Chains A and B, each alone.
Chain A
Amino acid sequence: MENNEIVKISGLVKRFPIGGGHFTALDGIDLTFGTGEFSGLVGPSGSGKTTMLNIIGSLDCPSEGTAVVLGNSVGELSHKKAAKLRKESLGFIFQTYNLLPVYTVFENVEFPLLLLDMSAAERKQAVLDALVWVGLTDKVKSRPAQLSGGECQRVAIARAMVKKPQLVLADEPTANLDAANSHNILQTMVRLNEELKTTFIFATHDDKVIKYLKRKISLEDGKVVKDEQK
């Protein structure tokens, strides 16, 4: 792995059993992502974007081939090691925000830091910094049910970024948002990418997101059909 390579995917195949047979979601993918990239996997539904994101995020394993993330071969990681990789180095942003409903904004953002056993003072500072990045310092005590969709997604971004991970995986982050909120969210992520040099990989078919991408990887039927740099 070269120094700036953060993800290296070789001959990646992912099959899912369906009935008596199987469905091939990813079919021989070879890709590399470097540090600080702002890339997107683009394609229609069923093209394999989310599956690839799940494998990079060590939430799923390849059927064939390898996916090496930050030096860890995903297929060979134990549950514990995969969890450690996610805990220390990866951030996730989901289409439906996946905020913990009974927690306040502060507690939601604080959650990843609790898993890292940081001290209360360090946690507090890091959470407040993250909330400044996403402009939600006035919503510290609100619960997700009291926030708009855009605000929820900003909380999710703060939660993904609070531990300053090397790689953030965002699955359709704007799918539930209106245009104004989408742009707001994307501008925030672009800024964080530039300021913190965090690598972002998106899975999207939203044109609003695609406009912001510095690298667009088009998938169709589980295969890379185009890989464009801006």
Chain B
Amino acid sequence: MTAFKLAFRNLIGAGLRTWLNVGVLAFILILIIMHFGMLNGWNRQAVTDMIAWEIGGGQIWQENYDPYDPFTLEDSHAPIPNSMQGEIEKGNLAPVLITQATIYPEGRMQSILLKGINTVQQVSELPTADLAGDYTEIPAIIGTIMARNARLNVGDLVTVRWRDVDGTFDADEAVIVGIFKADVPAVTAGQMWIPIDRLREMTQMPGEATILIADQEYTWYGSEEGWVLRDHDFLLKEMRDMIRMKTIGGSFLYVILMLLAMLAVFDTQVLSIFRRQKEIGTYMAMGMTRSQIVRLFTVEGAMHSILAVVLGAIPGIPFLIWLSNKGWAMPVDSEGFGMAIAERIYPAYSVGLVLTVMLIIVITTTIVSFLPSRKISKMNPTEAIKGKLQ
């Protein structure tokens, strides 16, 4: 306790030098919490959006389906087993039939995925109700990314060409009946959603599906040959891996920033020990042991970080709360990022995050403060009292 009291007095007495170090540490502390809060917020938002728009409570895939291999699409469809029909009718499962197609907007050619979905489904936020109605053309909804890339607007007609189950090409006009905004590229980029019955008719795959999306509240415990359950862990893995990579990448920057701050603390400690030899000698004369003096200097250095936590909280707490309410606007380009990312990310700070960052800064500063302080234990008190450099 005495060491803390003395260290605090010494630090406050050191004036500007202390406040510069504390300021830098406080800034880094806020920056690190903000950065990891952003990543947490992105993760949370992306999971929520993906569940709402794309994956629901999980998906059941036809066993050949591989979203990363378009060549598997030809074989990744099968009649929906009878055991699932009841769940579809109850609205617990929404079948989706996927096939490759080409559209010709304004005479250009663009490969897309044509996805057929039940117009009355409730498992996804997709506005499939827009697809209901009697249309001569194929009614289609597309996402904003697709609309921008293909320069399509509501009411536009576009030629669609596809192949049926036997590989025969066919083509027809599609009419854009809705454009939706979603932060999930898997439902917006290069995709056109049409009624599943229409697609089955077009491809001559009656009663078939490629995947079934489960309702968020529904868990499929069934087991059907030829169909595989993909749960959240599987479906969110890629996005979580990406965020993990971002976290690691971002950490390097903060390690460098921390190193700079630690260099400043180390430098201050070294300078302190050289400049304050007379003081160290006086401490010894008054009865402090060498280890007590080493502890005093270590605590003094470490208290930079404690002061940084206290002072950083003054602007940091209101700033971080403001940011979590206001969000951080992402650049327009982030839409084509390939991952679920919202226009605005709202940081999420957990107690664990804040405590971990604080603990890392306090422990690192303590170690960095201790290293130069060890020199004190080799000092000759009679020389130190005179202030002679040793």
Identify the A interface with B (CB < 8 A).
54, 57, 59-60, 79-80, 83-88, 90, 92, 94, 96, 98, 100-103, 107, 111-112, 114-115, 117, 159
Bound form: Cα–Cα A100–B5 in Å:
14
User: What are the residues of chain B within 8 A of A87 when measuring CB–CB?
Assistant: 286-288
Proximity bits, B374-390, A CB within 8 Å = 1, else 0: 00000001100101000
B289 touches A98 (CB 8 A): no
Of the candidates B281, B288, B382, the one whose C-beta lies within 8 Å of that of A98 is B281
Bound form: Cα–Cα A60–B286 in Å:
14
User: What are the residues of chain B within 8 A of A100 when measuring CB–CB?
Assistant: 279, 282
**Distance of A157 from chain B, by nearest CB (Å):** 14
A103 touches B9 (CB 8 A): yes
Q: Which residue of B lies closest to A112 (CB)?
A: B286
B287 touches A88 (CB 8 A): yes
B6 at the interface (CB under 8 A from A): yes
B382 touches A59 (CB 8 A): yes
Identify the B interface with A (CB < 8 A).
2, 5-6, 9-10, 12-14, 278-279, 281-282, 284-290, 292, 381-382, 385, 387
Q: When A54-B382, A102-B13, A102-B14 are in contact, do A92 and B285 touch as well, CB less than 8 Å?
A: yes
B287 touches A59 (CB 8 A): no
User: What are the residues of chain B within 8 A of A85 when measuring CB–CB?
Assistant: 287
Q: Which residue of B lies closest to A107 (CB)?
A: B9
**Distance of B386 from chain A, by nearest CB (Å):** 8
A112 touches B10 (CB 8 A): no
User: What are the residues of chain B within 8 A of A101 when measuring CB–CB?
Assistant: 13, 279
**Distance of A22 from chain B, by nearest CB (Å):** 16
A111 touches B286 (CB 8 A): yes
User: What are the residues of chain A within 8 A of B288 when measuring CB–CB?
Assistant: 83, 87, 115
A117 touches B385 (CB 8 A): no
13 CB < 8 A contacts A-B: A59-B285, A83-B284, A86-B285, A86-B287, A87-B288, A94-B285, A94-B385, A96-B387, A102-B10, A103-B13, A111-B286, A115-B2, A117-B2
Bound form: Cα–Cα A181–B284 in Å:
28
- Indicate the member of A54, A79, A87, A98 with the most B CB atoms within 10 Å: A98
**Distance of B279 from chain A, by nearest CB (Å):** 6
User: What are the residues of chain A within 8 A of B12 when measuring CB–CB?
Assistant: 102
Bound form: Cα–Cα A225–B207 in Å:
120
Bound form: Cα–Cα A128–B382 in Å:
30
Bound form: Cα–Cα A94–B286 in Å:
12
Q: When A100-B279, A102-B10, A114-B6 are in contact, do A60 and B290 touch as well, CB less than 8 Å?
A: no
Bound form: Cα–Cα A16–B290 in Å:
22
**Distance of B77 from chain A, by nearest CB (Å):** 79
User: What are the residues of chain A within 8 A of B285 when measuring CB–CB?
Assistant: 57, 59, 86, 92, 94, 98
User: What are the residues of chain A within 8 A of B6 when measuring CB–CB?
Assistant: 111, 114
User: What are the residues of chain B within 8 A of A57 when measuring CB–CB?
Assistant: 285
Q: Which residue of A lies closest to B384 (CB)?
A: A59
B287 touches A112 (CB 8 A): yes
Bound form: Cα–Cα A98–B381 in Å:
13
Of the candidates A83, A94, A102, A115, the one whose C-beta lies within 8 Å of that of B9 is A102
**Distance of A185 from chain B, by nearest CB (Å):** 19
Bound form: Cα–Cα A201–B315 in Å:
56
Q: Which residue of A lies closest to B13 (CB)?
A: A102
| Extra inter-chain contacts (10) besides given A86-B286, A111-B286, CB under 8 Å | A59-B284, A83-B287, A83-B289, A87-B286, A94-B282, A96-B278, A103-B9, A114-B5, A115-B288, A159-B286
Bound form: Cα–Cα A103–B284 in Å:
17
**Distance of B291 from chain A, by nearest CB (Å):** 8
User: What are the residues of chain B within 8 A of A92 when measuring CB–CB?
Assistant: 285-286
The list of the 8 closest CB pairs from A to B, nearest first, reads A102-B13, A87-B287, A86-B287, A83-B289, A98-B282, A92-B285, A59-B381, A54-B382
Q: When A59-B284, A59-B285, A114-B6 are in contact, do A98 and B385 touch as well, CB less than 8 Å?
A: yes
Q: When A59-B381, A59-B382 are in contact, do A115 and B281 touch as well, CB less than 8 Å?
A: no
Q: Which residue of B lies closest to A95 (CB)?
A: B386
Bound form: Cα–Cα A79–B278 in Å:
19
**Distance of B84 from chain A, by nearest CB (Å):** 77
Q: When A59-B284, A102-B14, A115-B2 are in contact, do A79 and B9 touch as well, CB less than 8 Å?
A: no
B2 touches A114 (CB 8 A): yes
Q: Which residue of A lies closest to B11 (CB)?
A: A102
